[in-house]
Amino acid sequence: MKRYKKAKICSVWSVIPAFILMAYIPGGPAVQAAEDTIKIGVIGPMKYVQGIHHLAAAEIARDEIMAAGGISVGGKQYKIRLVQADSNEIASVTDAVNAMERIIANEKVDFIVGGFRSEATLAMMEVNADYKTIFLSCGPASPDLSVQVAKNYNRYKYWFRGGPPNSISSAPSAFMFIEMVAGAVRKELGIEKPKIAILADKALYIEPAVKMLESQLPNRGLEVVGTWRPSFTASSVMTELTAIKAAGAQMIFTYAAGSAGVAYSNQWGELKIPAGMFGLNVEAQRIQHWKNTEGRCAYLAMTAFFAKAAATKRSIPFYDKFVAKVGDTPTSTASSYDAIWMLKDAIERAGSLQKDAIVTALEKTNFEGAQGRLVYYPNDHKWPHDLQWGPGFVTMFSVQWRDGEMKVVWPDGSKAIRGVRYEGTVDYKLPPWMVKK
């Protein structure tokens, strides 16, 4: 018994230098990949389309990587195991934080992809920073996430954006989209200074973009007639649409990531509001939206993070696989596909499972994903670990509902986007009820 106690004490003391040694190992802590499996947590609102897309896209990436032999680290092949966690973040940020804590502490995942609401992801980042677990957010668009990395690199360096580019960096695409629609209004209605209304969810990720639109649009030959901010989950926007019509707008720029997007599109089409509605509308990007609104969404145009257009060699195959698997078009959270591929790419380039080595490799990512060519801003940029937007990187797409299909209408090959126009793109059309006969 005495010998056992002594042995126990010895083993306790022997652990301490081991911890000290670990702290000084170059590259810092390593992921805890068991035997031959790397565990990737997929965190998202799993009862909602956003979480469903997180998971489905991650599964497609996993299956492709596994079919190609898995992840190779130092000559050893690792399998991928996905562990899902329901963040319930649309209803509760607290639930999201708890889910993050659980997936790291209990499930012992090595990496995490997911997150949807910027507010929730900001809170989740605190947990992944505490545990130093590499987390690629897939869906939230607020630049505040990468600003955290810029403010305190050592704490937040384990966070990266899996997609889409942040709402400010990608704002030029919104302006180009606006220019395209304004061009149609000028040409077809003969109005030199079109009136535009902004209809945007009241949510954190939109705040900087809305402020930018309000200040910039008047400089671009447009008159902003007002900004309406209904709730993220509004069931009806009748009043807002009535006010917009009364204000005489010919264009309605939307920012709708929540369920309110259905009301935006459905009621606009039902009332045939004489203004082209376009912008961000996550719900309207879904393949069922046409049937769901019985075609009332016709001529609605919206930004899409994925479309049936060849931005890279992966874009169309991923789009087709996703539609076949889910029966739906991929939304922004399906960027978990690119996130997992980027992780594989970075781990293999790092040749190690050391977290800091993988962070360094991720920072040097130059990868052709389904969204476009994925490259991070440098560490001295105001948005480190954030994806670069622009021609040659990720441009995103704009699509328009016509005849039951989402047709790609942007990038339109204009000078502003340096002539980029993917194969299969068609010209944007104003709703016919707006056009004088």
Q: Which of 338, 347, 307 is nearest to 163 (CA)?
A: 338
Reading the block at residue 194, the tokens are 């079109």
Q: Applying CB under 8 A, which of residues 133, 146, 250, 266 lies at the interface with another protein?
A: 266
C-alpha–C-alpha distance, residues 381 and 151, integer Å: 11
Part of the chain binding another protein (CB under 8 A), chosen from 106-114, 165-173, 174-182, 257-265: 257-265
**Which 64-83 residues touch another protein, going by CB under 8 A?**
none
Part of the chain binding another protein (CB under 8 A), chosen from 18-26, 121-129, 266-274, 361-369: 266-274
Part of the chain binding another protein (CB under 8 A), chosen from 28-36, 44-52, 138-146, 429-437: 44-52
C-alpha–C-alpha distance, residues 134 and 159, integer Å: 6
**Which 334-373 residues touch another protein, going by CB under 8 A?**
none
Q: Is 326 in the site for another protein (CB under 8 A)?
A: no
Q: Which long-range contacts (CB under 8 A, 24 or more apart) does 405-411 make?
A: 406/285, 406/287, 406/304, 406/307, 406/329, 408/304, 408/307, 408/308, 408/309, 409/180, 409/301, 410/173, 410/176, 410/177, 410/180, 411/176
Q: Is 215 in the site for another protein (CB under 8 A)?
A: no
Q: Is 89 in the site for another protein (CB under 8 A)?
A: no
- 410: which DSSP letter? E
Burial (CB count <10 Å: 0-12, 13-18, 19+), residue 132: middle
Part of the chain binding another protein (CB under 8 A), chosen from 57-65, 188-196, 237-245, 426-434: 237-245
C-alpha–C-alpha distance, residues 230 and 242, integer Å: 13
227 or 352: CB nearest another protein:
227
Closest contact distance (angstroms) between CB of 125 and another protein is 24
Residue 396 belongs to what H/E stretch?
none
Q: Applying CB under 8 A, which of residues 92, 98, 216, 292 lies at the interface with another protein?
A: 292
Q: Applying CB under 8 A, which of residues 58, 90, 96, 353 lies at the interface with another protein?
A: 90
Sign, Cα dihedral of 267, 270, 275, 280: positive
Size of the site for another protein (CB under 8 A): 42
Q: Applying CB under 8 A, which of residues 79, 245, 349, 421 lies at the interface with another protein?
A: 245
Whether 224 and 178 have beta carbons less than 8 Å apart is answered as no
What residues line the site for another protein (CB under 8 A)? Answer: 45, 47-49, 52, 90-91, 202, 226-236, 238-240, 242-243, 245-246, 259-263, 266, 270-273, 283, 286, 288, 292-294
